Each structure stands twice: as C-alpha cells, then as structure tokens.
Amino acid sequence: MLVSLIEILKLAEERKCAVGAFNTPNMECVNAVVTAAEKLSVPVILMHAEIHEDVSKLEKIGPVLVQAANSARVPVCAHLDHCEHLEYVARGLELGFTGVMYDGSTLPFEENLANTRKVVSLVKGENCGVEAELGAMPPREGGLDAGAPVYTDPEEAVLFCKETGINALAPSFGTAHGIYKSKPVLDLDLVRIISERTGLPLVMHGGSGVSPEDYRIGIANGLRKINYYSYMSKAGTAAVKDLLAEKDVVFFHDLALAAEKAMEANAETALRIFAGL
C-alpha cells in the first residue's frame, strides 16, 4: 500500500530499524525490490532520482512506482531522490509521489535552507514528506568516483531542521555515492549526536559497501532510512554477464529476468540487515 515518507519513517522509529530505499529506474528494479520486501514483510521505499532522467523519464516511471506501491502487500513510499529543481518536485507531486528529497547540499548554507523551505511549503497539505541534505557526499547518484565528504556540523543541522520543518535529514558522516574504492571510514558518533540534537529520522546515502556492523551501529544511533542501489545494480549486471558467458541468449527479456532475480536476492540481503532480521 502507498504510504508517505512520514508514515514509513514512523514505522521505522517504532521498530528501531531502518527502511531500505532503492533507486528503481526501471521495471526490473521495481519488481526486484517490491518482491524482496513482500517476502520479508518489511516496508520499503522506491525512489526515482532526478539524475536518472536519462534512464527513465519521470512522467513514465513515476506512475509505475506509485502503482507498484499501491498494489504492494507491504507499506511502500514512492520517493523522489536528489531533486535539485523545485519544478521537478512539483512534477513529482502531480504524479502522486509521497516523499521527496531536496538536495541543496552543494549550495551555500543559507541558499540550501531557503530552497528547502520552499520545498516544505510546496508539499504542505499533500500526503508527502520532505528529506533534505546538509554537508556533502560526492559524487552525485550514478557516479563512480568517491571524493572526500564534507561532514555535517551538528549546530548547523539543528538550525537547518528547525528553520525548514523537514521530516528527515541526510547528514554527511563519511559515506559516498557509488562504488567505494577503499573502505569508507564512517563517523557514526556524529550520527548519534545529530539524531539526539535534531530529534529527526536520519538518512544514510551511499549505503552500498558499508559493513553489516556499521549498518547496525548506524541504525542504533538513529539512521531510519538507508539509500542503497549501486551494489544491487551491480549484482544485476553480474548475472547478465554470467548468463551470456554460459549460453547464447537471443531474447533481451531473458537477460532482464536474470538481472531482476539477482537484484531481488541482493535487495533481500540488504533489507534483512536494515530491518534487523
């Protein structure tokens, strides 16, 4: 069933666990994630990132995500990920998205704050929650190089949350998007401090490649949404490579199905850890 970001984070808070949030730019990803969540009976978040516009257009994939959420046997939030334009947020709301992440993390603090406020007022009255980012986790979704993160300042986080009225905060504490080239060093104490100071559910971006132990500590310290995509996608690619090495495949749907099954297994493993199962 379709639920808002606010509701799904409330479920995570009650269970003291984190909800898995997956980028699902195509049907195979949607099927993989929903099937894995239904199998485990856990809530899940399907996301479309603005940066994936070249993979799937919002107006095409948006209704697919909302419909998949509506017909799922578990609570599902349809979430817009890393929106950098207010116009994109408005288009998502029109399509029925129930969560939106505005990313002004590359802007100066005041500008990020002002734009995030605009997004919060834009979704007012809608069945939708707002996530925002403070600090910087380079590079953007879909990138492959990990740069140096800019850690979030707890004082700024308190001010930012109070002034904007957001429902969830993505602080920067050492994770990066994409595939890690070396083991990430996470400041999980910073997660605890920001969680205690802001009182808001926190979001981990760049969840691929983090150790199960670090996930557990992070969740105990206040992470309630974990964005995870790169490793799932990589598992799909590996399955396709294996199948092509094994036999001569004619139909594309056979490759797509192999990728879907592998991504489902990968998502299931991640969801088990996030849910503490």
Region near Zn ion per CB under 5 A, out of 83-91, 179-187, 203-211, 251-259: 203-211
| Residues in contact with 69: Cβ distance below 8 Å, sequence separation at least 6, in sequence order | 1, 2, 3, 46, 76, 77, 78, 98
For residues 38 and 187, which CB has a smaller minimum distance to Zn ion in the complex? 187
CB of 140 to Zn ion, least distance (A): 8
For residues 78 and 258, which CB has a smaller minimum distance to Zn ion in the complex? 78
For residues 48 and 205, which CB has a smaller minimum distance to Zn ion in the complex? 205
Region near Zn ion per CB under 5 A, out of 5-13, 199-207, 210-218, 258-266: 199-207
Which residue in 79, 205, 224, 225 binds Zn ion (CB under 5 A)?
A: 205
Cα(170)–Cα(208) distance, rounded to whole angstroms?
16
Q: Within the chain, where are the H helices?
A: 5-15, 27-40, 58-71, 86-95, 109-123, 154-164, 188-198, 212-220, 230-246, 252-275
For residues 52 and 117, which CB has a smaller minimum distance to Zn ion in the complex? 52
Contact status: 117 vs Zn ion (CB under 5 A): no
Nearest to 177 by CA among 114, 103, 109, 120: 103
Instruction: Note if 189 is an active site residue.
Output: no
66 with 2: CB under 8 angstroms? yes
Residue ranges binding Zn ion (CB under 5 A): 205
**Residues with active-site annotation:** 81
